[in-house]
Structure 1
Amino acid sequence: MRVMAGAIGAIALVTPSAIAACDGQGGISEETSSWRLVWSDEFDGDTIDAERWNREVDCWGGGNDERQCYTPFDQNSRVDDGCLVIEARLGEATGPAWPAHMREGMSEEQRAETNTQPFTSARLNTRGKGDWRYGRIEVRARLPEGQGTWPAIWMLPTDEYYGPWALSGEIDILEAVNLGERCRECRGRLENRMFGTLHFGGAWPENRYMNRNTTIPTGPDNEQQFNVFAIEWTEGEIEWFLNGESYGSLTPTNWRTDSELADGNPNAPFDKEFFLILNLAIGGNLAESLTLGGVRLEGYPKQFLIDWVRVYDCPQDLETARACAS
């Protein structure tokens, strides 16, 4: 990736007040739960653990007309005082026009194509380093605010067994856009909604989705706080949790895949291994279509702070994980 000269500038350090709550607290109690911790990152070191995370590099726009380049640079993703910091910065950058998984099947000329975006940010994934089928996934994080911000915690299939997106599915643990902005239909007239979503159906553009939603608790001045976002994914059901409380679930009566490989299998496509993704997008179709519209340029950099990530399996029922469901 080539960054335009002077576009990013110096690294903006996280203030002590911003990371004071990266204390490793919260989450389920292993003493009282039947779930077993099998993979985690507490971000207690000095650098992002390359044995756990891949840093993606592209200026594609996520297929949603987003406005960021994802970079491998510390100014966009780093570990600071117990927190993973994903930071979006205002500053033009140029890089690959397509993500790595799409470039693999392209001609040399297509792989060399570039795109320029007005923001930089980061997207980390665990593909090949953390891939799971069924379990409980928890992330304690504090979300950024502002028109055009789009933080997400989500999962994609490791091998796309049933075919390209969305034949093989997508699991969104958390999405929120434009938090803190004026919103007529929102509680307190400020945007405070979050969504847990499944994408399925046919290959784009024949894809479908269904979601569950709730509101995010905020502090006394309506500022964002750290919350625990989680799913329990068992055979035939995915359930979403906020701070330990369920706010909805979906089952095979709600989803499907049009792949012929799923004939007679109602659990498809959510019965194969998926990997985890953490990212902060700026703009895009969803964020720019809601609340004030577009992207507001004030207040950058924006930070998505992750205290920890924890993944659990169900030791007494590794095949379906149903025995551990809440």
Structure 2
Amino acid sequence: MNLLNIALMALTLVLSCSSGDNDTNDSPSALDLNITLIGSSDSNPNGDGSGRVQVKAAAENAVRYAFRFENGDQIDSPSGTMEYTFTQTGTHSYSIVAWAYSENGSFTTETLTVEVFKSDEQFTTLVFEDEFEYEGAPNPEKWHHQTIPPDNGNWHNGELQHYTERPENSSVEDGTLKINVFKEQYTTSGSTKEYTSARLNSKFAFTYGRVEVRAKLPESGGTWPAIWTLGVDVNETGNYFGDQFGAVGWPLSGEIDIMEQTGGDKNSIISHFHWGDLNTEEYKNEGGTAPVSNASSEYHVYVMEWSADSIKTFVDDTMVYELTNSENKPFNHDHYLILNVAMGGNLGGEVPESFSQDTFEIDYVRIYQ
């Protein structure tokens, strides 16, 4: 063998070893970064004023991703998708950096620049309302009566009522919606209960905004009035207004109790949050209470202000509770509003023998974004 052939064989061996030791076939490649400005349109090219963007990264051979916004810390995102809210008001240009990582730790990166508008005015556009300035049944284009008990003819939490869509239990008259509770035997879905009431779910779902409900609460012991939301969870029929849950179910759907009142304390209200952690599916809950004077004889305004950063509840101008919002909570997706009065159960407690009837009276419902 001549020296030239020996040299060529040696070079081939070196190249083969180099390729094996530094194999780049598993490195991420073709990183695609997409940024969506929430509410962007021809008239609002930089977004709807919320300051929110959705980012999505995808790359071949990537097992995890990370993002950086506003020169801040790197934020991990296993799925490569996340939402971020810029806080500086006005229209500003921002660089968004994405990384895609392979199993061996190698990465590729991509940077895009976007202009985002953040308004200093929140919740100024009325997107849903019912002033109840009509007579008769609640507007069927806005409200769904949930009447089918979800648990073998029973409602959850040990409640003692059946919900109906009869005019006796819910009607609009003299400028207000009245949800009436009666002591009476009523049979449906194979079970008989000693009380009737109504549960109205809004046929409007929304993400973020300000909810205002002006109402007077029932005064009787054992009554459990509530203004609350559940996360939209579309079932196979496309119905997300509460007759049944879809694949996700509770608590992963999320629940926001803007106002609840126990049957034994009519001088205070509760705001509470229930959810399943979107990463671990572990059940979580937080909440607080606030005093309310003359809740049954005078109107008060029960409020929720919901953003990507937090959810705040108020009675009139007094904050009841603030929950920090985050990506692992199901509070960055559509919810719908619920108005109802339950009887007894976990929060209603013991119903007095003397109870005969009571009313939850709602002057208006308004949702702003």
AA in 2 matched with 1:251: T
1:283 and 1:58 map into 2 onto residues whose CA distance is: 18
Q: Please state whether the residue corresponding to 1:241 is helix, strand or coil.
A: strand
Whichever of the two has the greater Rg, that structure is: 2
Counterpart in the other structure of 1:120: 196
Question: Which residue of the partner structure matches residue 159 of structure 2?
Answer: 66
Select which of 340, 343, 346 maps to 1:279: 340
Question: What CA distance in whole angstroms lies between the structure 1 residues aligned with 2:184 and 2:294?
Answer: 30
1:183-222 aligned at under 5 Å gives the runs 191-201=266-276, 207-218=283-294
Match of 1:243?
Answer: 316
Q: Is the 8 A contact 1:162 1:269 kept in 2?
A: no
Which protein has the bigger strand share? 2
What aligned pairs does 1:260-275 form with structure 2 within 5 A after superposition? 265-266=327-328, 268-275=329-336
Give the count of matched residue pairs.
232
Higher relative contact order (CA 8 A, sep 6+): 1
Once superposed, which parts of structure 1, at least 4 consecutive aligned residues long, lie more than 6 Å away?
none
TM-score (norm 1): 0.66
| CA deviation after TM superposition for structure 1 residue 299, in Å | 3.9
Q: Structure 2: give runs of 5+ residues left out of the alignment.
A: 1-120, 235-245
Alpha carbons of structure 1 residues 145 and 212: separation in structure 2 relative to 1, 3 Å: same
Question: What is the match of residue 301 of structure 1?
Answer: 357
Residue number in structure 2 paired with 1:154: 228
Residue identity matched to 1:58: I
Q: Shift of residue 145 of structure 1?
A: 1.4
In the superposition, the TM-score normalised over structure 2's length comes to 0.59
The equivalent residue for 2:49 is none
Mapping for residues 1-326 of structure 1, pairs under 5 Å: 35-47=124-136, 48-59=138-149, 60-96=153-189, 114-126=190-202, 129-159=203-233, 163-178=248-263, 191-201=266-276, 207-218=283-294, 224-252=297-325, 265-266=327-328, 268-288=329-349, 294-313=350-369
Name whichever of 74-83 and 297-306 sits farther off. 297-306
SS at match of 1:64: helix
Residue 244 and residue 164 in structure 1: after superposition, are their counterparts in 2 closer, same or farther (change >3 A)?
same
Aligned residue for 1:285, secondary structure, equals: helix
Moved more, 191-200 or 116-125: 191-200
Contact 2:232 / 2:253 at 8 angstroms: preserved in 1?
A: no
In structure 1, distance between residues paired with 2:266 and 2:210: 28
1:220-252, Cα deviation, whole Å (9 max, x unpaired): xxx531100010000021001111332320104
* Cα distance, 1:58 vs structure 2: 3.0
Residues of 1 paired with 2:308 and 2:282: CA distance?
25
Q: 1:163 to 1:58 in 2, by over 3 A?
A: closer
- Alpha-carbon separation, structure 1, partners of 2:277 and 2:188: 30
Q: CA RMSD in A?
A: 2.3
Aligned 8 A contact 2:342 2:348 in 1: no
Which ranges in structure 1 are unaligned for 5 or more consecutive residues? 1-31, 97-113, 182-189, 254-264, 289-293, 314-326
2:311–2:325 contact (8 Å) kept in structure 1: no
